[in-house]
Amino acid sequence: IRKTVTLQLSVKLKVPPSRILLLRRDLELPVHSTANELGLGIADIIDCVVIAADDKHESEQSGDMLTVRLQAKEKGSAQEYSLHKDAPLGSILSQYVSSMSVDARRKVRFQFDGSKVVHSQTPSQLDMEDGDVIEVWV
């Protein structure tokens, strides 16, 4: 059975495949391809972006969407991201580090309320509220 990258991610992220966008070096990848067909190796990095649902306004009104700020100690390092409270934080953490040097990416740590944040955690699991800040340590 042929499993596409998008299908595997949709299961893991619990969103329909149509809401997943894959990027490699800022270029959109075809969604119906396997890792082999895309020529991806073990060291390749692809960004996975979950596109907001069409009923975004309805979700925001029900409190399912929130804005999270990632902030390092350097002035001007803050970036804000909107995501669903049940979406893994990995996508925004990856976006934040994408502009960092390779050395900084290896050292970076994320903390919320004094506890380590990992890519698989969701805002709901961390009891995050709209406007909360995740600290970035390099």
Give 8-47 pLDDT, tens digit per residue.
Answer: 777 778 777 778 888 887 778 776 667 787 788 888 888 8
Task: Based on the fold, state whether residues 101 and 127 are members of the same structural domain.
Answer: yes
pTM of the entire structure?
0.56
Task: Based on the fold, state whether residues 78 and 136 are members of the same structural domain.
Answer: yes
Q: Strand pairing of 109-112 and 133-137?
A: antiparallel
Higher pLDDT pick, 52 / 59: 52
- Rounded to an integer, what is the distance from CA 128 to the centroid of its chain? 16
**How confident is the model over 97-131, as pLDDT tens digits?**
888 888 888 899 999 999 999 989 999 999 999 89
Task: Based on the fold, state whether residues 136 and 83 are members of the same structural domain.
Answer: yes
Task: Based on the fold, state whether residues 26 and 16 are members of the same structural domain.
Answer: yes
Which of 35, 51, 67 is a domain's end point? 51
Task: Based on the fold, state whether residues 2 and 23 are members of the same structural domain.
Answer: yes
Provide the domain count of the chain.
Answer: 2
| 58 pLDDT higher than 50 | no
Q: Can you give the pLDDT at residue 109? A: 94
| Residue 48: its H or E element | strand 47-50
Contact 69, 83 (CB under 8 A): no
Task: Based on the fold, state whether residues 118 and 61 are members of the same structural domain.
Answer: yes
Query: The domain containing residue 100 runs over which residues?
Result: 53-138
CATH number at residue 23: 3.10.20.90
